[in-house]
Each structure stands twice: as structure tokens, then as C-alpha cells.
Amino acid sequence: MAGCTSGSVKLLCVVFLTVLCALSVSSQRTCKEADMCCKAQNNTCYLFGPRMDGNYNESRCYCDANCLIMGDCCIDFHSHCEGKKFKI
């Protein structure tokens, strides 16, 4: 390939692997998929998935009871977490 050096091939491989790793970090996008429901405010009880507030750009969504106040619940918080015993 003209103009293709081993350095550019290495860079392409690094970029590809970085994107691949980023995509595979968490495939769990809903409270149900992660089997996650947390009591009160829990800043570690989050995923990157669609939110109930209409934000579908895979930003941080929560599976804690406080998300109802903050408006940042994952899209399935009501169907998966309400009526269940919460993890502490």
C-alpha cells in the first residue's frame, strides 16, 4: 500500500483495540441486565444506557431509589426495581 508505513499500521491497530475495549467494558445497559437495584442514593449504582428522561445517548443512568428524585433512572428502573428488596 502506497504511503502506508508500519507506524501507521501500528497506530491503526492501537485505535482499533482501544475502541474494541471501550465497547466491551459493559454490555449491561439496563437495571435488569445488570441485576442492579440499590437503596437510597448510591453513586456506584449506575450503568451507561438509556434513561427514563428521554436521554438515549448511553450516558450514565442509575438504578438507585434516588434516581426518581434526580430524574436520571435507567429506562427499566420502574419495571425492574420497584417492589424488590434493594441492595444496600
- pTM (2 d.p.): 0.65
Please indicate, yes or no, if residue 5 is contained in any of the structural domains.
no
Write the pLDDT tens digit of every residue in 42-81.
Answer: 999 999 999 999 888 878 999 999 999 999 999 999 999 9
Please indicate, yes or no, if residue 70 is contained in any of the structural domains.
yes
Which is nearest to 76 in space by CA: 88, 57, 63, 59? 63
Reply yes or no on whether the pLDDT at 19 is more than 80: no
Report the distance separating Cα 80 and Cα 88, nearest Å. 16
Domain containing 81 equals 28-88
Question: What domain count does the chain have?
Answer: 1
Write the pLDDT tens digit of every residue in 4-16.
Answer: 567 766 666 455 5
Please indicate, yes or no, if residue 14 is contained in any of the structural domains.
no
Report the distance separating Cα 58 and Cα 60, nearest Å. 7
Please indicate, yes or no, if residue 23 is contained in any of the structural domains.
no
Please indicate, yes or no, if residue 34 is contained in any of the structural domains.
yes
pLDDT band at 32 (very low <50, low <70, confident <90, very high): very high
Reply yes or no on whether the pLDDT at 21 is more than 50: no
Strand locations in the chain (E) = 46-48, 60-62
Please indicate, yes or no, if residue 75 is contained in any of the structural domains.
yes
Report the distance separating Cα 48 and Cα 31, nearest Å. 10
